[in-house]
Amino acid sequence: MKIYLDDRTLTVERGTTVAAAMLNAGVSVFRESVSGEPRAPLCGMGVCYECMVTIDGQRELSCQTLCQEGMRILTR
């Protein structure tokens, strides 16, 4: 299936989480911390909130969200 990441189009396997798809696409920075540090998934299980991105307009945990056809993901 296809998802949209910022200005890129990605092809992903069914059952892939958004976090995994983003890592596979080479994204290393998921969010900027309060003091401006780059951050990326830490816990992988919905606890740490480091993997928060905007998915179809909502702030979501990318590690807890499965990719859906046509999903739009913004890292900023």
Residues that bind another protein (CB under 8 A): 12-13, 15-17, 19-21, 23-24, 28-30, 33-35, 37-50, 52, 58-59, 63-66
Q: What residues contact 32, with CB distance under 8 A and at least 6 apart?
A: 38, 39
- Token digits for 22? 């983003």
Rounded least distance, CB 9 to another protein, Å: 17
Quickly list H helices, 1-76: 18-24
Backbone angles phi, psi at 74, to 5 degrees: -120, 135
Question: Which C-beta is closer to another protein: that of 4 or that of 16?
Answer: 16
Question: Which C-beta is closer to another protein: that of 30 or that of 71?
Answer: 30
Rounded least distance, CB 7 to another protein, Å: 19
